[in-house]
Structure formats: structure tokens, C-alpha cells
Amino acid sequence: MDMQNSNDFKYIIQDTNCVYFGRELTYAEMMDREDVPFKLKAIISAHIARETDLNIKMTDHILAISKSAFSYRIFEQLKLTVRVCYKVSRKGFGGKTKEKWVHKSCLIGQFCQEYRDNIMQNEMFIEDLSVSKLALMAIGI
């Protein structure tokens, strides 16, 4: 059975280093949640809301963002990390083909250069996004 709950990928998790966001989370849902840092909410309402609709998923915004956009610079300053996943086939000792999932984390710049086109072609998918707490603390609103 291949069913998933619609809220499976709508999460926010914090550790000592980062704040992690599920791939299905929209900016509007982030603004409504209490576990999103206030400074990030302020950045979303002051800057990101000018460029995009708040009902769009954060992943969709990142897939459509251009390097000249102000929100791209904000994500660079926040050290936004995108975690992607893709399947690789390898031959084993017996000649059988084994499939293995590969997980990679990269900053927004590397993601836009190397992986964005693969995601658009459904060759890989975004697992989650994360923002550095230290960068969030250092950025001015």
C-alpha cells in the first residue's frame, strides 16, 4: 500500500544548529506555526512576501527562484541547505543490479546550478530544507 498522509512532509524540526522544514510546507503555514523562529517569520513577511504568494510551497519557490531575486540573496545569507535524494543502480558481485538511494545536502547556490534541472525532470526529489540558526541570528531585518 503506497498511501501517505498529506501532513507527512509538513513539519518543522529544530536542533542546536538548524531549523528544518518539510518539503510540502507553504509560507502561510509557516507563518501560522508557533515553532518557527520569530525572526524568520519577520523575514518572510517583510521580504519574501513581496516576491511571491505566501500560499506557495517553499520548495516550489526555490525551484522557480532566479539568482537576481532578493529572496535568493536572503536564502544565501541564511545558509539555506536543500537536501535532495535520488536512486542509483549498481551491479553487485553476482551480476545483479541493486538500487541504492543517495542523499545529498547542498547550499542554495549549488542546488540551483547542479540539481534544480534534475528535480524538474523528476530524476530526484527534495527531501527537506534547513536554515542555519547562527545565520538567522546574525542577519538584520
pTM of the model: 0.84
pLDDT at residue 118, as a whole number: 87
What the block records as the C-alpha cell of 46 is 517583510
pLDDT > 90 in the chain, percent: 71
Q: What is the percent of the chain where pLDDT is above 70?
A: 96
Lowest-pLDDT range of 13-27, 50-64, 89-103, 126-140: 89-103
- pLDDT of amino acid 96: 84
**Residue ranges of the alpha helices (H) in the chain?**
27-32, 38-43, 49-51, 58-64, 70-77, 108-110, 116-120, 133-138
pLDDT band at 3 (very low <50, low <70, confident <90, very high): low
Rounded CA gap, 83 and 59, in Å? 11
Give the pLDDT of residue 93: 78
Q: What is the CATH number of domain 12-138?
A: 3.30.465.10
pLDDT digits (tens, 9 = 90+) for 68-117: 999 999 999 999 999 999 988 888 777 788 888 899 999 999 999 988 88
Domain ranges of the chain: 12-138
Pick from 109, 102, 103: nearest CA to 79: 109
Please give the pLDDT value at position 7.
Answer: 74
The pLDDT score that the predictor gives to residue 1 is: 44
The residue written with cell numbers 527531501 in the block is 127
